[in-house]
Amino acid sequence: MSVIARGLTREYGGVNVVDGIDLEIKAGECFALLGPNGAGKTTTLRMLLGLTPPSAGEITVLGEPIPQRARAMRERAGIVPQFDNLDPDFSVRENLIVYGAYYGAGRRQIEARMDELLRFAELTERADDPIQGLSGGMKRRLTLARALVNDPELLALDEPSTGLDPQARQHIWERLHALRRRGKTLLLTTHYMEEAERLCDRAAIIDHGRIVACDSPRGLIEAHIEPHVVELRGDLALQWKDVALAGFRVEPVGETVLIYGQEREALLREIDALIGPGYLYRPASLEDVFLRLTGRELRD
């Protein structure tokens, strides 16, 4: 086991923002903490990394008790924070050298890995550029490479693709896949369902500081939601938002109406007959599970 947490709790101002979380993450697994804003994902991650002391509960990461031996654990872990905190006083290359020094690595040790890290981040051409000139995607890739200076066993990423454009996001996902293939344990927080669905072996859906479900993306879909969905949008949604269909579940969400069914043929036959063309059919996704389990009200 890479990560074991029991009864993990964190209280701020009389409120448990993390409220009794149990987790087990296997070595080599990619695991997502999935939840709306303010659900307690980042606090959970920080506690696992020894950056926030828990109010209650026990944590073991890479065999080390946390927070007591957090330093020893972090020597074998890499962390990609939610907000880039690259060192603005240094170039790309210097950022990697200086960060390596925080791990106690000498300049030669880092230099030996430099080419590989730059290639991984696809920043070989920009190695001596100041970081101010880098795009958001480049900065995130450099932050990722920086977290790899110590060749970690476990990589923790707090919302790794938030704020990136679709190309940069695809690129980061591809890099994370490459790391999985190398056997790294990946632990990430995200509120992008697609990210969890594509990357992760398992995901824990967190809401109000508790795990409401934990399984593989496919397992979560099978356990919590009908497999087939019809989406109505715009005028169609307005027109049919109050429709009642025997044997199907109808969920209005803002300007969209979602109709869930167990059988694809039966669902489409019913919709074709009643509503006609103009709808969108898709298989159920993690997003449906997420909305079902965490509710549809806005979170700030």
Partner 1 sequence: MAVIDHLRTAPRLSFRFIAVWLRNLKVWRKLMLPSLLGNFGEPVLYLIALGYGLGQFVGEIDGMRYMVFLASGIVCSAAMTGATFEALYSAFTRLTTQQTWAAMLAAPMNVDDVVLGEIAWAATKALINASAIVLVASVLGLVAGPQALLVLPVILLAGFAFAGLAMIITAISPSYDFFLYYFTLVMTPMLLLSGVFFPLSGLPDAVALGAQFLPLAHVVMLVRPLMTGGVVEMPLLHLAVVAGYAAASYWIAAALARKRLVR
The residue ranges that bind partner 1 (CB under 8 A) are 49, 51-53, 71-72, 74-75, 79, 81, 83, 85-90, 94, 98-99, 101-104, 147
C-beta contacts of 122-126 below 8 A and 24+ residues apart = 122/171, 123/92, 126/92
CB of 123 to partner 1, least distance (A): 18
Answer for the pair 104, 141: CB distance below 8 angstroms, yes or no.
Answer: no
Task: Give the shortest CB-187-to-partner 1 separation in angstroms.
Answer: 14
Q: Judged by CB, which is closer to partner 1: 79, or 168? A: 79
Give the C-alpha separation, 264 to 228, whole Å. 6
Minimum distance, C-beta of residue 33 to partner 1, in the bound complex (Å)? 17
CB contact at 8 A, 36 and 207 = yes
Q: How far is the CB of 94 from partner 1 (least distance, A)?
A: 7
What's the min distance (Å) between Cβ of 71 and partner 1? 5
- Pick the closer one to partner 1 by CB: 94 or 153: 94
Q: Smallest distance from the beta carbon of 15 to partner 1, in angstroms?
A: 14
Minimum CB distance to partner 1 smaller for 77 or for 118: 77
Q: Are strands 185-190 and 30-34 parallel, antiparallel or unpaired?
A: parallel
Extract long-range pairs of 18-23: CB within 8 Å, 24+ residues apart. 18/43, 18/44, 18/47, 18/54, 18/209, 19/208, 19/209, 19/210, 20/57, 20/209, 20/210, 21/57, 21/206, 21/209, 21/210, 21/211, 22/211, 23/48, 23/204, 23/211, 23/214
Cβ proximity to partner 1, 74 vs 169, nearer residue: 74
**CA 149 to mean position of chain CA atoms:** 22
Looking at the Cβ atoms of 82 and 285, the one nearer to partner 1 is 82
Which residue in the block uniquely carries the two structure tokens 């509503």?
A: 275
Name which of 68 and 216 has its Cβ closer to partner 1.
Answer: 68
Q: What residues does 214 pair with on adjacent strands? A: 204
Q: In whole angstroms, how close is the CB of 105 to partner 1 at the nearest point?
A: 10
Amino acid at 199: L
Using the minimum distance from each CB to partner 1, give the nearer residue, 13 or 183.
13
Query: How many beta carbons lie within 10 A of that of residue 122, not counting itself?
Result: 15
Distance between CA atoms of residues 283 and 61, nearest Å: 36
Residue 17 CB, shortest distance to partner 1, in Å, is 12
Separation of alpha carbons 192 and 161, rounded Å? 9
When the beta carbons of 51 and 250 are compared against partner 1, the nearer one is 51
Q: In terms of residues, how long is the chain? A: 300
Q: Which two tokens stand for residue 79?
A: 């962390």
